[in-house]
Amino acid sequence: MKRVMALGLMLAGSLSMPVMAQGSLKLEWKNPDKFRDIRPANQSRQSFREEVFSQLQKYIELRLVNRLADGFSLHLTVTDLDLAGEVWPAMMVGLNGGSDVRLIKQIDSPRMAFDFQLLDASGQVVLEGSEDIRDMSFMDRGSLVRDTDPLRYEKNLLRGWFDKALAGYIQK
């Protein structure tokens, strides 16, 4: 009985929640073998690439595209990716016998190049272009100090572009 009551309350609560408009995403990684830096530190290139692409796609869908006004969709074709930092052999950084490590230094900023189209609900292109974005101050952002996400700098780069370039199409 308690289970039925709890289910009923959850259903009633969900009906009273506002329906959030949601955009959609079409994402393509074009010629990833030619990307500037998507080198793994301690796993196979293929599995690392798949993990990076998956995590960035989830972030773009759930944290960025979901904020677009109702019916809008974003088409992205990523043509280059350079992750923050650089992978060094373990012995070069004093870790004898360990796996390679990605060292993050100010000079190795995250960078991404892509073509984009923003389409409205009728499928008409309302904004399009090619971008080559880079965050030279990626290590100076205080909000990232405690963040442990290995792709935090790349996600912050994308969020900054999204908030600036698509400002007029974001739900308030």
Residue type, 104: I
Q: Can you give the pLDDT at residue 140?
A: 84
Q: In a 3-state reduction of DSSP, which class is residue 82?
A: strand
Number of domains the chain contains? 1
Q: How many CA atoms within 13 Å lie on the side-chain side of 35?
A: 25
Amino acid at 94: G
DSSP assigned state of 92: G
List the domain range (segments joined by +) for residue 60: 22-83+109-169
- pLDDT of residue 77 exceeding 90, the answer is yes
Tokens of 4: 């039925």
Output the pLDDT for position 146. Answer: 57
Q: Does residue 91 fall inside a structural domain? A: no
Q: What pLDDT sits at residue 57?
A: 97
Does residue 97 sit within a domain? no
Per residue in 96-126, pLDDT (tens digit) is 666 777 778 888 899 999 999 999 999 999 9
Biggest CA–CA distance in the chain, Å, is 64
CA distances from 171 to 9, 85, 112 (A): 29, 34, 25
pLDDT tens figures, 20-38: 346 899 999 999 999 998 7
The pTM of this model reads 0.79
The tens digit of pLDDT for each residue in 136-146 reads 988 887 554 45
The amino acid at 41: A
Residue 126: inside a domain: yes
Closest CA to 151 of 62, 38, 68: 38
In a domain, residue 79? The reply is: yes
Asked, for residue 11, whether it belongs to a domain, the answer is no
Residue 5 lies in a domain: no
